[in-house]
Homo-oligomer: A and B are copies of this chain.
Amino acid sequence: MDPGTTPDYDPQAFPPFAVTVDIVVMTIIEDELRVLLIRRAVPPFRDSWALPGGFVRPDEDLSTAAVRELAEETSINQEPDHLEQFGTYGHPDRDPRMRVVSVGYWAIIPDLPTPKGGSDAAYAELVPVAELEGGRIRLAFDHDRIVTDAIALARSSLENTTIATRFCPPEFTISDLRRVYEAVWDSKLDPGNFQRKVKQTSEFLQPLNQTTRSGDKGGRPAALWVKGPAEKLSPPLSRPDSN
């Protein structure tokens, strides 16, 4: 609990804790789920990949710190639609220099139709999660575990919430939404069944009555939709193989 019931311990008498936030930013590019990583410029773990994040300031809420750090360390100029705390990591040895407790947040940046060409993306890069899950990239500190936890939560959130819409631009087609599920879950879904499923889930999607969009190489134009007011999905949209 909070100070006051264990007077036998004085926190001021010990080295202080530092509190940080680590942010797992996800997006989908080329039908691949990716996370935003930076290259560390200073030791420890210099030149290693790591999550963006940083110190919480003395008068700052945790989520405020996450938003601020995300803006500071990222060249992405749009605010995330979704920013959610998912876990806190405080093993005594997780940082070799001092005692650091870090609060993990995950965020979604919608897929931009034009992925920004790497200008000075030497510092921040959107890495496919397949690279991480294949063990081909190792992260600094305990960030491997943090990213693993965030991805697991994201996958399960797609089953039970309407959050997949946050990966899409404001107006999107049902196939766009299906490709989000396919990218995050790394599996194929039946287009017909998916269509019915999301349409019959009330408040999930709202029609725009614009039957807009002409395919680039054929195909029937798709209807456009916007996110509806629902946040939870019941019954859930079950993921294949997850039994």
Chain A contact residues, CB within 8 Å of chain B: 1-7, 9, 11-12, 14-20, 22-23, 38, 40-45, 50-62, 69, 72-73, 85, 87-88, 90-92, 94-95, 97-103, 140-141, 143, 234-236, 238, 242-243
> Does the CB pair A9–B55 fall under 8 Å?
yes
Instruction: Give chain B nearest CB distance to A229 CB in angstroms.
Output: 15
**CB-contact partner of A17 in B16, B23, B140, under 8 A:** B16
- Interface of chain A, main secondary structure: loop
Q: Which residues from chain B contact A1 at a C-beta distance below 8 Å? A: 20, 22-23, 38, 50-54, 69, 73, 102, 141, 143
Chain B residues, Cβ within 8 Å of A99 = 58
Select A3's contact among B38, B51, B69, B100, beta carbons within 8 Å: B100
Q: Which of B7, B41, B60, B94 contacts A5 (CB 8 A)?
A: B41
Query: Complex formed: what's the CA distance from A59 to B99 in Å?
Result: 8
Q: In the assembled complex, which residues on chain B have CB atoms less than 8 Å from the CB atom of A60? A: 92
Q: Is the CB of A19 within 8 A of B22?
A: no
Interchain CB contact (< 8 A) of A14 among B6, B20, B58: B58
- B20 to A17, Cβ gap below 8 A? no
Instruction: List 9 A-B pairs, minimum CB-CB distance, nearest first.
Output: A16-B16, A1-B53, A62-B90, A88-B88, A6-B54, A11-B18, A17-B19, A4-B42, A14-B58
